[in-house]
């Protein structure tokens, strides 16, 4: 690969990694707000707003897995882990710092917003590690089996399995620590998993478009070809 295209490849990887980390951290910060969504009156979803950016993480890892390979995808997953731990550390320190009398956000308000963040992030990180590594492993398993063909199948098969594991794990832990009541468990599990499945189906054209462009630009010939550095 010539130096110019190598630099472009590294910059794209950096952008994808940044999008991954931003989506992950944002989802963990805003999770405490829940909303209902009833598209076309067909099904009423009960969802945390934290679910909105989270499926983007699986889209990004699938793109990186397809073009850059498993090692690069795993690096992004680990980067997200460290970013989440750092974010959690900052929140804990900020919670311990007493607010001034004139602070627009007092200790009570801050605690009400971020009070469950430690438990939520711990649950999210556990589910995150299981789901993201499972996503990468399943994606590459089917990539070997299909000999680099049927990207749509690899994308959805890996995402469906990993998203179910993620949704189940994080809800189970949040209910176990009484952040969410158990009577909401099944409704949230069904809504969360269905939302992620629909997102995975919707993002299939996106991953095809991005991968097609990158293969063409970097002259990656043959099914399953990856960038080499």
Higher pLDDT, 20 or 40: 20
Instruction: Identify the pLDDT of residue 106.
Output: 92
pTM, rounded to two decimals:
0.81
- Whichever domain contains 190, its CATH number is 1.10.1760
Place of tokens 């311990």: 96
**Tokens standing for residue 172:** 């189970």
**Is residue 222 assigned to a domain?**
no
- Classify 17 as helix, strand or coil: helix
**Is residue 228 assigned to a domain?**
no
Domain interval for residue 139: 3-217
**Is residue 226 assigned to a domain?**
no
Instruction: Identify the pLDDT of residue 222.
Output: 66
| Report for 143-152, 182-191, 216-225: range of highest mean pLDDT | 182-191
pLDDT average, residue stretch 206-214: 89
**Is residue 225 assigned to a domain?**
no
Q: How many helices (H) and strands (E) does the chain have?
A: 7, 2
**Is residue 139 assigned to a domain?**
yes
In 3D, which of 19, 32, 31 has the Cα closest to residue 63? 19
pLDDT average, residue stretch 46-73: 87
**Is residue 154 assigned to a domain?**
yes
Q: pLDDT tens across 111-162, in order?
A: 877 776 667 677 777 777 777 678 777 877 777 777 777 777 776 777 778 7
Give the total number of structural domains in the chain: 1
């Amino acid at each position: 690969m010539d130096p110019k295209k190598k630099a472009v490849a590294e910059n794209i990887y950096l952008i994808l990694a940044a999008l991954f980390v931003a989506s992950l951290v944002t989802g963990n910060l805003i999770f405490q707000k829940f909303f209902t969504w009833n598209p076309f009156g067909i099904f009423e979803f009960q969802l945390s707003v934290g679910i909105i950016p989270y499926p983007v993480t699986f889209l990004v890892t699938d793109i990186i897995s397809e073009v850059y390979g498993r090692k690069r995808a795993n690096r992004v997953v680990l980067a997200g882990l460290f970013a989440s731990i750092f974010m959690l550390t900052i929140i804990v320190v900020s919670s311990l710092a007493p607010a001034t009398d004139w602070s627009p956000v007092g200790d009570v308000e801050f605690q009400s917003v971020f009070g469950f963040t430690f438990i939520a992030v711990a649950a999210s990180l556990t589910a995150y590690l299981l789901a993201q590594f499972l996503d990468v492993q399943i994606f590459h398993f089917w990539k070997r089996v299909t000999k680099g063909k049927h990207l749509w199948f690899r994308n959805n098969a890996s995402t469906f399995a990993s998203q179910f594991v993620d949704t189940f794990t994080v809800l189970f832990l949040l209910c176990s620590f009484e952040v969410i009541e158990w009577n909401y468990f099944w409704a949230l599990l069904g809504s969360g998993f269905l939302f992620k499945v629909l997102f995975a189906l919707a993002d299939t054209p996106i991953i095809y478009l991005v991968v097609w462009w990158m293969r063409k630009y970097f002259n990656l010939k043959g099914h399953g070809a990856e960038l080499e550095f």
